[in-house]
Amino acid sequence: MGIEDIPLIYTVNGNVPVDSLKHECEWIVNDDYIQFIERYRNAENVVVKESAHVYSKHGFAGKGSAVNFA
């Protein structure tokens, strides 16, 4: 296995091997949305990469802008 075969992930410290990081997932669920947060921490327990994905249960487009033309 060469260096080109090691899976890397881009972090604030540049590309680092995925195996050198701790991976965490967090879910927040409430009446309005579901949020998934993904974190990667280095050996010093510092967050080096974080992303969040949000699913709105009510939608965004047109919320509060509907007009009755009757």
Q: Where are the domains of the chain?
A: 3-56
Report d(CA 26, CA 50) in Å as an integer. 11
Output the pLDDT for position 65.
Answer: 55
Q: pLDDT-derived band of residue 58, with 50, 70 and 90 as boundaries?
A: confident
Output the pLDDT for position 70.
Answer: 54
Picking from 27, 35, 40, 28, the residue whose alpha carbon sits closest to that of residue 53 is 35
Output the pLDDT for position 46.
Answer: 95
Query: Does the structure show a pLDDT above 60 at 11?
Result: yes
Average pLDDT over every residue of 11-33: 94
Output the pLDDT for position 6.
Answer: 86
